Amino acid sequence: MKRFLLLFAAVAMLAMNATANIRFTMGKLRFWVCDDGKSVYLQGVVDGQTVTGDLYIPQTATDGDKEYTVVGLSSNSFYKQTGLTSVYIPNSVKYIHRTAFYGCTSLTNVTIPNNLEFLGDKVFDNTPWFNAMPDGPVYFGNTLYVYKNPSSMPAGTNFVVKDGTTHIAANAFQGCANLSNIHIPNSVTSIGENAFGRCTGLTIVTLPNSAKNLGYNLFYGCTGLTSVTLPNTITSIPVQLFYGCHALSSITIPNTVETIFANAFANCKSLTSVNIPAKVKAIGNNAFSGCTDLTDITVPASVRYIDQDAFARTAWLNNQPDGIVYASNVAYTYKGTPTGVLTIKEGTTAIASNAFSECSGITVLRLPSSLLYIGTSAFYNCTSLTYLNLPGNVKALGTGAFSGCTNLTEISFPNSLLMVGRGGYGTSVFSGSQWYTDQPDGVVYAGPVAIGYKGSYPADKTITVKDGTKAIAGRGVGTGADKVILPNSVTTIGDEAFEDSSIKEINIPQSVTSMGNRAFVGMRSLERIDAYVDPANVALGDDAIIMGMPNLDDYYDRIGTGVCFFFQGNHEMDDCVLHVLPGKEESFANAWSWARFKHIVGDLSEGGGIPGDVNGDGIVSGADVTALYNVLLDNALVAGNADVNGDGVVSGADVTALYNLLLN
């Protein structure tokens, strides 16, 4: 999985600490294992315990016979441990999160490593050690921690960050109204969230190309900021990066950027033109809203997702004629009130979020063959719409895309469809529609995608998804089941597909090539997963995203070695056994996210095996076709792996499934 975004996320870490698995304790300290399976965060002190005197944080932590490297300290890890007098942090620690030692009122001595990559805000505030620091810039190792007492900064200050600094911490200069210029050296690789928030006197900033990671709210409320040079190494414009920078009149977005997050340039009232580079795929909600002087917007054909109100209250939108407003290949919104037939022009590849929401007068919808993506709530409450023909290239439908379409009774789905309900709740795409009401009990399918489950579960609480299904949408399928059997036609397991379900057993078919974020989070009853795949061939998280913005929580949580977005909270995974192909045990043990499993077993046992390997030789080949015919004709073999489509019986349908498997 890409570990591409911020190294800093104080708010998200607070939420994460409440849910992350506490894998083991060592003495008074408790640790949780990172997704790489090799490193751990020190989460804090065991409940009810305290630490006093000198604290030597270990460089490694052991759980049984397994040793991990300690790489980070979680938020609040030693919050108000008032008996703590000194702390020694080893060089293995790269990440220390907000308020880790806040309120340690006896802490007078701290030893910090020189290779920190992230230091959160208020880590050492309200300690004697920090209180003894003079006003002005406070450096901890290679990190500029904070400018202490901003009111002491002289008017018109031109501040020079000292050479060798690699990280500027969150909120470091927040509220330094007298800061007019700042020089940041090429040694700086990351700048934390809100580092320059409300520096109202700041006018010109050049961020070095070494600064690959920028925090959200970085220049929030810098009302005097007129010019910024961004690094040509960043891949995203973070949330609210320039929110409320009223004087910012122009900006060059680097060609490396792929995502512009929510409110990135909101209320930049002096911004007149913007050229969105060719790599950008997604533009977040309100990204340019309130840019009242913005008349010229260039949107590239690469953009496949525009969230709601991205260009609201801009001169550009005001100048558009009535009718469908297009931003390059995206149908962005409708000016006026559409009635009757709505025809979206050929060449359109995406429909923006909320583009035609509440357009109750639309009776007929004509979509172009070029269409690939339909955004969140795009046709919400289009109550006069009765029939929907999705073109043959459509890949994804956003959450709530057709919810509230009460008279929608008939839908034609293409076989190209892979994602229904980005971010969970696949059923919500059609909730409130007559089409969904009319679906029979059992697994509900939107063409090749399983989107939910209706009615009571069978007596054995086992759900078998039908052969030919290509994708599992977010939540709903098997939430209350004990066992889910997926056919070997499934290629995509969507975001939050089985989150918080009570499933005990599930298989990940050999055909799966992508799994969305949080696909298996919170499955605390999970006892067994049969994953007969090669982990190197399965894209995880945002690598697997077909449409839309990367999930914001995941964006901010992906810190250093990261946390688990696929199996987090699953009974601490101590009791869940991961069954894999013989010989693949080491591959899983070293693979991102999978490595967190304690029990990885290579076998071809009942309930697993290689789908399609009828003769049990460990591979799927033409010989298995012959073996399957023998099973059907003579019952010559026990029907374990002969049930290729996983429907519980061996029949002619398995022959078709096996041929499809061989062809694919």
- Planar angle of CA 424, 425, 426, nearest 5 degrees: 100
Based on the fold, state whether residues 496 and 594 are members of the same structural domain: yes
Flag the least confident range among 150-154, 309-313, 546-550, 565-569. 565-569
Domain residues for the domain of 512 are 453-548+576-609
- Planar angle of CA 121, 31, 506, nearest 5 degrees: 115
In order, the DSSP letters of 613-664 are: -TT-SSS-SHHHHHHHHHHHHH--S-SSTT-TT-SSS-SHHHHHHHHHHHH-
Q: Is residue 485 part of a domain?
A: yes
| Residue 1 pLDDT class (50, 70, 90 cuts) | very low
Q: Is residue 658 part of a domain?
A: yes
Q: Is residue 523 part of a domain?
A: yes
Among 609, 633, 651, identify where a domain stops. Answer: 609
* Residue 545 clears pLDDT 60, i.e. is over it: no
Compute the distance between CA of residue 358 and CA of residue 591 in angstroms, rounded to an integer: 45
Based on the fold, state whether residues 507 and 635 are members of the same structural domain: no
pLDDT digits (tens, 9 = 90+) for 468-519: 999 999 776 888 899 999 998 999 998 888 888 889 999 999 899 988 888 8
Q: Which of 142, 152, 143, 105 lies closest to 124, judged by CA?
A: 105
The pLDDT mean for the chain works out to: 87
Strands 492-493 and 471-472: parallel
| Alpha-carbon distances of 651 from 536, 647, 655, rounded to whole Å | 33, 9, 7
Based on the fold, state whether residues 600 and 457 are members of the same structural domain: yes
* Residue 238 clears pLDDT 70, i.e. is over it: yes
For residue 65, count other CB atoms closer than 10 A to its CB: 5
pLDDT digits (tens, 9 = 90+) for 384-419: 999 999 999 999 999 999 999 999 999 999 999 999
Based on the fold, state whether residues 462 and 598 are members of the same structural domain: yes
Buried b (16+ CB within 10 A) or exposed e, 431-470: bbbebbeebeebbbbbbbbbbbbeeebeeebebbbbbbbb
* pLDDT > 70: percent of the chain: 87
* Residue 556 clears pLDDT 60, i.e. is over it: no
Buried b (16+ CB within 10 A) or exposed e, 115-124: ebbbbbbbbb
Q: Which residues pair with 56 in a beta bridge?
A: 88
Q: Is residue 123 part of a domain?
A: no
Based on the fold, state whether residues 510 and 647 are members of the same structural domain: no
Q: Which of 419, 508, 431 lies closest to 472, judged by CA?
A: 419
* Residue 150 clears pLDDT 50, i.e. is over it: yes
* Residue 11 clears pLDDT 90, i.e. is over it: no
* Residue 639 clears pLDDT 70, i.e. is over it: no
User: Which is more confidently placed, 18 or 496?
Assistant: 496
pLDDT digits (tens, 9 = 90+) for 602-615: 876 544 456 677 77
Flag the least confident range among 47-61, 217-231, 233-247, 612-626. 612-626
Whether the Cβ atoms of residue 97 and residue 122 lie closer than 8 Å to each other? no
Q: Is residue 360 part of a domain?
A: no
Tokens of 13: 């870490």
pLDDT of residue 635: 53
pLDDT of residue 637: 42
Whether the Cβ atoms of residue 399 and residue 425 lie closer than 8 Å to each other? yes
Which residues, at least 6 apart from 12, have a Cβ–Cβ distance to it below 8 Å? 553, 556, 557
| Residue 21 pLDDT class (50, 70, 90 cuts) | very low
- Rounded to an integer, the average pLDDT of 96-104 is 94
| Residue 563 pLDDT class (50, 70, 90 cuts) | very low
pLDDT of residue 15: 29
pLDDT of residue 468: 93
Among 609, 630, 654, identify where a domain stops. Answer: 609
Based on the fold, state whether residues 473 and 498 are members of the same structural domain: yes
Q: Is residue 468 part of a domain?
A: yes
Q: Is residue 281 part of a domain?
A: no
Flag the least confident range among 224-238, 514-528, 555-569, 584-598. 555-569
In order, the DSSP letters of 123-181 are: SSTTSHHHHTSPSEEEEETTEEEEEE-GGGSPTTEEEEPPTT--EE-TTTTTT-TTEEE
* pLDDT > 90: percent of the chain: 66
| Alpha-carbon distances of 427 from 437, 438, 475, 499, rounded to whole Å | 11, 13, 8, 14
| Residue 566 pLDDT class (50, 70, 90 cuts) | low
* Residue 564 clears pLDDT 60, i.e. is over it: no
* Residue 630 clears pLDDT 80, i.e. is over it: no
The CATH number linked to 521 is 3.80.10
Give long-range contacts, CB 8 A cutoff, 24+ apart: 405-409: 405/379, 405/380, 405/381, 405/430, 405/432, 405/433, 406/432, 406/433, 406/434, 407/383, 407/434, 408/382, 408/433, 408/434, 408/435, 409/433, 409/434, 409/435, 409/438
pLDDT digits (tens, 9 = 90+) for 210-219: 999 999 999 9
pLDDT of residue 78: 97
For residue 182, count other CB atoms closer than 10 A to its CB: 21
Compute the distance between CA of residue 148 and CA of residue 124 in angstroms, rounded to an integer: 12
For residue 100, count other CB atoms closer than 10 A to its CB: 25
pLDDT of residue 548: 63
Flag the least confident range among 186-195, 372-381, 473-482, 615-624. 615-624
Based on the fold, state whether residues 536 and 637 are members of the same structural domain: no
Based on the fold, state whether residues 485 and 602 are members of the same structural domain: yes
Compute the distance between CA of residue 585 and CA of residue 229 in angstroms, rounded to an integer: 47
| Residue 199 pLDDT class (50, 70, 90 cuts) | very high
Based on the fold, state whether residues 483 and 598 are members of the same structural domain: yes
Q: Report the domain count for the chain.
A: 2
| Residue 634 pLDDT class (50, 70, 90 cuts) | low
Whether the Cβ atoms of residue 227 and residue 205 lie closer than 8 Å to each other? yes
pLDDT of residue 542: 63
Based on the fold, state whether residues 500 and 594 are members of the same structural domain: yes
Based on the fold, state whether residues 527 and 631 are members of the same structural domain: no
Compute the distance between CA of residue 569 and CA of residue 333 in angstroms, rounded to an integer: 40
pLDDT of residue 583: 85
pLDDT of residue 523: 84
In the DSSP assignment, the letter for residue 594 is G
Q: Is residue 592 part of a domain?
A: yes
User: Which is more confidently placed, 141 or 366?
Assistant: 366
Based on the fold, state whether residues 637 and 491 are members of the same structural domain: no
Flag the least confident range among 23-37, 447-461, 522-536, 646-660. 646-660
